[in-house]
Amino acid sequence: MTETASDEELLRLAAAGDQHAFALLVQRHQSRVFNLAYRFSRDRQDAEELAQEIFFKVWRHARSFRGDSLFSTWLYRLAVNSCLNHRQGKKARPEPHTLTGDLPAGSAADAAGDGLVAAEMETRLRAALDSLPARQRVALALASFEDKSYEDIAAAMEVSVPAVESLLFRARQNLAAILRPLRKKGEL
C-alpha cells in the first residue's frame, strides 16, 4: 500500500513515526534534491550533506506540513531556503570546478570521443553559473535543470510569477554576457 501512496500520505505516515514511509519519500525525491544541491555547492560531498540536511528538515518539520500545498512545493521551498542559506554561510572558494570525475560513465561526450572538451565546457558553464547572484541561480536551476513551471518556482522561492520571469531573464542575460566571448572565440 505504501509504495502507491501519495507523497502527502507518506509524509503523514512519516510524521507518525513510519520509517518505511519516510525512506520511500526520500527515495522518490533524493535525486532531484541532490541535483539541486549540487548546482549550489562546489562538490559532491557538499551536495550530499546539503541534500541530507534538506531531508532532515523534512523529517523534523513533517508534523508542521498542513497539506495546503503539494508536498513537492513544500520540499522545494525547504530546499531553496537551505541552498540560499548554505551559500550565504559559505565563503566563495576561488578554485574552478571540475566535473570530469562526476561525468557518468559512458556519457554521450565520452562516446563521441571528446570527453575532455565536454568536461572543459562543463567546467566553464559551472564557473559562469557560480558567478550569478544566488537567487538568479536558484531560478535558473529550477527552470532549466528541474524543468519546473514558473508557478512552481514562484512557490518554492516565495516570490511572484513576474519576479520569476525577471529573475530568469536577468540570469540568462548575465550568463550569455559571461559566456559570449568564449562562444565568439569558438572555445565553447
Partner 1 sequence: MKMRCQKARKYVSLAMDRRLGPEASHELAEHLSACPACRERQQEQAWLLELVNASPGLQPSPRFYAALREKIDHDLARPKLFAFSPAPLRPALLRAAMFLILAISAMFGFILSGRLDAPAATTPAAVFDQTLNLNAYADMPADSFGAVYDRLLQGEFR
The answer to whether the beta carbons of residues 2 and 14 sit under 8 Å apart is: no
Stretch that binds partner 1, among 24-32, 65-73, 76-84, 130-138 (CB under 8 A): 24-32
Closer of 158 and 169 to partner 1 (Cβ): 169
105 residue type, one letter: A
- Identify which of residues 131 and 169 has a Cβ nearer to partner 1 in the complex: 169
Q: Decide: is 65 part of the binding site for partner 1 (CB under 8 A).
A: no
- Is 60 a binding residue for partner 1 by CB under 8 A? The answer is yes
Q: Does 130 bind partner 1 (CB under 8 A)?
A: no
Question: Does residue 2 touch partner 1 according to CB under 8 A?
Answer: no
In the complex with partner 1, the residue whose CB is nearer, 121 or 134, is 121
- How many other C-beta atoms can be found within 10 angstroms of the C-beta atom of residue 115? 15
The answer for residues whose C-beta is within 8 angstroms of residue 125's C-beta and 6 or more apart is 179, 188
Rule CB under 8 A: say whether 118 interacts with partner 1. Answer: yes
The residues near 40 (Cβ < 8 Å, ≥ 6 apart) are: 47, 50, 83, 86, 87, 137, 138, 141
Query: Which of 79, 132, 138, 175: binder of partner 1 (CB under 8 A)?
Result: 175
Q: Does 34 bind partner 1 (CB under 8 A)?
A: yes
Give the residue from 175, 172, 169, 171 showing the smallest Cα distance to 134: 171
- Residue 50 interacts with partner 1 (CB under 8 A)? no
Residues engaged in binding partner 1 (CB under 8 A): 19, 23, 26-27, 30-31, 34-35, 38, 44, 47-48, 51-52, 55-56, 59-60, 99, 102-104, 107-108, 118, 121-122, 125, 140, 143-145, 150, 165, 168-169, 172-173, 175-176, 179-180, 183, 188
